[in-house]
Amino acid sequence: MENQTLVKEICPTTAQEWLKKGALLVDVREKDEVAQLAYDAPNIINIPLSEFEERYTEVPKDKDVVMVCKGGGRSLRAAGFLVNHGYTNVVNMQHGIARWVQKGFPTKGDTTIVTGGDSCCSSSGCC
């Protein structure tokens, strides 16, 4: 099966630029995951993937939206769901909070959850 191209994907560096322009981060990790390690961003909401189909209307259609999770897979599914429900300004952040941490972007909590104490990802790929 080929990858679908319905959802644009961006890296954490580009996500930071989107945030500076007022985009909303939507974290689809479960509440216990967010309690351990959270994105420290000005415009962020948590809608766990397990509740997403019931709560997706909380995501505004008139704002730029960056979907995030731990590694990028769950947020990609949620972003695709939004696109299929008429959202046009949604992107997925590749590699999730793991790459966000590697890039040194702000978080709240224990980063060793995703790094294991050292670098979590190779430096290739992300801008």
Measure the CA–CA gap between 76 and 1, rounded to whole angstroms.
16
Q: Which of 11, 69, 120, 121 is catalytic?
A: 69
Which of 21, 105, 121 lies closest to 72 in space, CA to CA? 121
Active site residue 69: yes
Burial class for 95, CB neighbours closer than 10 Å (0-12, 13-18, 19+): buried
Could you give the residue numbers annotated as active site? Answer: 69
